[in-house]
Structure 1
Amino acid sequence: MRLNHYKDLLKLGFPIIVGQLGTIILGFADTLMIGHHTMPELAAASFVNALFSLIFVISLGFTNGLTPIIGGHYGRGESASIALVLKNAIAVCGLLAAVLFSVMTVVYFCLGHLGQPESLLPLMRPYFLIQLVSLPFVVAFNMMKQFSDGMLRTQTGMWIVLAGNLLNILGNWLLIYGHWGLPEMGLTGAGLSTLFSRVLMALFFMGVLGWGSHYKEVRSHLKSVRVERKEMRRITALGVPLALQIGMETSAFQLSSIIVGWIGVSALAANQIVMVASQFCYFISLGMAVAVSIRVSLYYGQGDYQGVRANVRAGLVLVFILLAITGSVVWTVRWKLGGWFTTGGDVTRLVALTVIPLLVYQVSDGVQNTFANTLRGLSHVKVLVPVAFLAYFVVTLPLCYVFGITLGGGLVGIWWAFFFGLSIAAVLFVREYLKVMKRVGQGLKSESRE
């Protein structure tokens, strides 16, 4: 029975991991190919991608709330309820896209006041606008992927993401460097290629949901269900805390890019490269943690609390194994990472040194990821927000400034600050999980006495 938990989690989690990695592979392809074009373009892409990564992760966090809702209905064979959730999710995510679009439009007009090198602004502005146009398509794709994952069709998102990555890489080769008679567009070409791939990914997923046989029964109920405030509030009540929690965690990383920009262009370029390695490790653990949340929601809905505990233990073991593998890979190539993206010797040295704190905090990150998603599967999400605020805004960001600027630790000092914030989050999430399971156990004892 114990081995079944590992098998089920791997079967569910592997496609999710691939899908999550696809999110950063699009950025990775841009970074790699831009870095070999010019160093200023790499620095400009670093800053813009840092800002948009936060927004994209917030949308991912919000839509993650759909998966356990859909999963619960799917397990009970409630196709009409799934259709109701889908129609209301479209409405809610449409509003989310509008809000995020408006926020980033304001940020665009503030680019010149964020303390970045003046020489990079002409490169940042067009690239920023292209990323802005792609934002609604990213939100739409995330919503459809979480809907499909909730119906245990995790392979669908995986294949669409892989196809999108191939299109993006081909587009980069054509537009950044100007092959096949096309103009050499540099950073702007990379942005256009990413936009094109994101639009096609969203449209293709829409086609799968619209014509795929697995979703036929759900589609048959779409006309009979309506957008309801109650259902929208239900989706929002679960999605907002998840978006805030993952958003605050990610913002601690991305907002630190502003502090990195005060150090210099080389530090900013190195930070972007280390960020790619960080996201590589993070999204692998997040993918397995999402699988844990889906399985937890199924067991919790059935009242199988021993299954919940066994699933969490198995998930934590798998997360540690995956992080050990990815950490070993990153450590092995730490002196080569910088050279893959740029020819600058200073950047290569900075990347190799900054990998050390990155790998040290992986244990804390794996624990907090697993238990945050466990609480999500238990529908116990309100506590995520205050814990995230304390760990990332009260602790991590101030320490980034102290370690990086005040104490002169530079980029390496900034990345050491994350160890403390992630460790605090890990301890508090584990503590909350134990409290929830203790209350569940006490409730079972009370029922048995009655």
Structure 2
Amino acid sequence: MNQTYNKKQKINQLLVILIPVLVTQLGMFSMNFFDTTMSGHYSPEALAGVAIGSSLWIPVFTGLSGILLAITPIVAQLVGGKKDHEVAYNVIQGSYLALIMAIIVMIVGAFSLNPILKGMNLEREVYETAHDYLVALSFGMIPLFVYNVLRSFIDALGKTRVTMLITLLTLPINISFNYVLIYGKFGFPELGGVGAGYASAITYWLVTIISIFIIMKQKPFSEFQVFNKLYGISLRKWKEILLIGVPIGLSIFFETSIFSAVTLLMSNFDTATIASHQAALNFASFLYMIPLSISMALTIVVGFEVGAKRYKDAKEYSWIGVAMGVTLAVLCGIVLYLYREPIAGIYTSDANVLKLTAHFLIYALFFQLSDAIAAPIQGALRGYKDVNATFILSLISYWVIGLPFGYYLANSTDLGAFGYWIGLIVGLAAGAIGLSSRLIYIQRKKYSVVKGNLG
């Protein structure tokens, strides 16, 4: 990355980093997207089973992998501050931590998965698909967690195009394995929705192996000599990573788990409602990759500028990112409203599920604007390493405001399942307002420091 001197240069540099991040996020999300859509065309039960399995897995993974995102602002600030010699040590310690986290998740899952699923009112086939899908996915957990550290390192250097190319290379592999394992093609067993879990696990291994090879062999990554030295475990460094990463992970967990909680609460509805809810939520999550990518790009550029003590530039980047997010959200909202029925048809050919999905998609429109504000601001705050307030705001917005309100509407009014979605919209809006206030406070505080130094 380079220092910028005007708004045009900042927009250009942000786009150079953002576009590959967006393509990468869409590619990574597409694995879950194709898991859902291809399972949905196998049977409604397969779609519902994968939906339940994903609802249990996604908040756990995103929350814990969010901890590992601490590597991005750490490396970005080290590079911005000309401390390149410290980068490799931080990346390796992050990789050790990722390995331990993955092992813990698998152990906990082995003891808790059956009790959780048995506590839900699921049809037998849906229960079996959800269970076996998660077991299959577990074979790829270790490489997936390690990859998050390696990707954070690559992206922190501003080389987001590299992770984009890795994702684009492996996505067709994931789709191919989905096809042969879900439907039983070319002599492979017909596994239904479970096959999607094995396909994703295989893909996670390939992504990680390719990333390691690139970091070892290609410049500028090879110049940091990440894998050239065997470092001992440093609990002190783990503590530093966790102090930054845990609030990030909790913030992401509170946000993603609210959607999963809604899906689990909706297990009392029929299979068609569960399937249509998950299909609409899956597409809304697909659109969320836009503000999420802006968020990740802002963490990189804001962290770089803060590391170089250019606080005014960091502030300008922050609000340019928010403006981008809102503009794109409006455009996506228009497309979503006009084409909601064809979009629903991507997920299912069942007439009842298709009709309900199109209805849920109308509510997804209102997710976009709040996400367009909240996600970029979260990314900017992470660039400042201001992470504690974010998870508190997420907890209050989603779990204290959004979920209770949605539960009330769903169970005490005629809105039924749609009441949960209204609750989610209210929670997201509350989060956007709180985060905006926090960013304004932080930037004023940082700017006053600069003025004091100049005086």
TM-score (norm 2): 0.94
* Alpha-carbon contact 2:73-2:299 (below 8 Å) kept: yes
1:23-34 equivalent positions in 2, closer than 5 A: 23-34=28-39
* Alpha-carbon contact 2:306-2:384 (below 8 Å) kept: yes
Q: Distance in 1 between matches of 2:135 and 2:331?
A: 37
The 3 A distance-change label for structure 1 pair 220 and 343 is closer
Q: Distance in 2 between matches of 1:299 and 1:191?
A: 40
Q: CA deviation at 1:61?
A: 1.6
1:37-436 equivalent positions in 2, closer than 5 A: 37-110=42-115, 111-219=117-225, 222-223=228-229, 225-436=231-442
Q: Distance in 1 between matches of 2:451 and 2:209?
A: 51
* Alpha-carbon contact 1:116-1:258 (below 8 Å) kept: no
Q: Distance in 2 between matches of 1:440 and 1:72?
A: 16
* Alpha-carbon contact 2:294-2:379 (below 8 Å) kept: no
* Alpha-carbon contact 2:77-2:308 (below 8 Å) kept: no
Structure 2 unaligned residues grouped into runs of 5+: 1-5
Q: Distance in 2 between matches of 1:445 and 1:210?
A: 43
Of stretches 53-62 and 22-31 in structure 1, the one that deviates more from structure 2 is: 53-62
Q: CA deviation at 1:77?
A: 4.1
* Alpha-carbon contact 2:102-2:145 (below 8 Å) kept: yes
* Alpha-carbon contact 2:76-2:300 (below 8 Å) kept: yes
Q: How many residues align?
A: 449
Q: CA deviation at 1:135?
A: 1.8
Residue of 22, 36, 40 corresponding to 1:17: 22
The 3 A distance-change label for structure 1 pair 90 and 435 is same
Q: Distance in 2 between matches of 1:17 and 1:102?
A: 33
Q: Distance in 2 between matches of 1:183 and 1:221?
A: 39
* Alpha-carbon contact 1:31-1:341 (below 8 Å) kept: yes
Deviation per residue, 1:16-74 (Å, 9 max, x gap): 11111222200111111111111111111111011111122113322221111111222
Deviation per residue, 1:370-425 (Å, 9 max, x gap): 11111111111111121111011111121221122222312322111111111111
* Alpha-carbon contact 1:80-1:221 (below 8 Å) kept: no
* Alpha-carbon contact 1:273-1:351 (below 8 Å) kept: yes
* Alpha-carbon contact 1:28-1:276 (below 8 Å) kept: yes
Measured on the aligned residues, the alpha-carbon RMSD in Å equals: 1.8
Of stretches 55-64 and 27-36 in structure 1, the one that deviates more from structure 2 is: 55-64
* Alpha-carbon contact 2:132-2:194 (below 8 Å) kept: yes
Of stretches 359-368 and 241-250 in structure 1, the one that deviates more from structure 2 is: 359-368
Give the letter aligned to residue 60 of structure 2: I
Q: CA deviation at 1:426?
A: 1.0
TM-score (norm 1): 0.95
Q: Distance in 1 between matches of 2:17 and 2:187?
A: 44
Structure 1 unaligned residues grouped into runs of 5+: none
Q: CA deviation at 1:278?
A: 1.4
Q: Distance in 2 between matches of 1:49 and 1:157?
A: 24
Q: CA deviation at 1:166?
A: 0.4
Q: Distance in 1 between matches of 2:264 and 2:226?
A: 49
Give the letter aligned to residue 100 of structure 1: V
* Alpha-carbon contact 1:403-1:413 (below 8 Å) kept: yes
Q: CA deviation at 1:347?
A: 1.4
Q: Look up the SS of the partner of 2:220 in the other structure.
A: helix
* Alpha-carbon contact 1:148-1:154 (below 8 Å) kept: yes
Q: CA deviation at 1:238?
A: 0.8
Equivalent residue number for residue 3 of structure 2: none
Q: Distance in 1 between matches of 2:226 and 2:101?
A: 26
Equivalent residue number for residue 439 of structure 1: 445
The 3 A distance-change label for structure 1 pair 115 and 400 is farther
Q: Distance in 2 between matches of 1:212 and 1:377?
A: 26
Q: Distance in 1 between matches of 2:12 and 2:268?
A: 47
Q: Distance in 2 between matches of 1:340 and 1:96?
A: 35
Q: Look up the SS of the partner of 2:180 in the other structure.
A: helix
Q: Distance in 2 between matches of 1:216 and 1:441?
A: 36
Q: Distance in 2 between matches of 1:210 and 1:447?
A: 41
* Alpha-carbon contact 1:160-1:205 (below 8 Å) kept: yes
1:4 aligns with 2:4: no
Q: What is the identity percentage for the equivalent residue pairs of Structure 1 and Structure 2?
A: 23
Residue of 20, 36, 39 corresponding to 2:41: 36
Give the letter aligned to residue 58 of structure 1: G
Deviation per residue, 1:246-265 (Å, 9 max, x gap): 11000001111111211221
Q: Look up the SS of the partner of 1:383 in the other structure.
A: helix
* Alpha-carbon contact 2:102-2:141 (below 8 Å) kept: yes
Of stretches 101-110 and 423-432 in structure 1, the one that deviates more from structure 2 is: 101-110
Q: CA deviation at 1:448?
A: 4.2
Of stretches 212-221 and 137-146 in structure 1, the one that deviates more from structure 2 is: 212-221
Q: CA deviation at 1:230?
A: 2.4
Q: Distance in 2 between matches of 1:448 and 1:162?
A: 47
Q: Distance in 2 between matches of 1:220 and 1:195?
A: 25
* Alpha-carbon contact 1:273-1:337 (below 8 Å) kept: no
Q: Distance in 2 between matches of 1:444 and 1:195?
A: 48
Q: CA deviation at 1:332?
A: 2.6
Give the letter aligned to residue 15 of structure 1: P
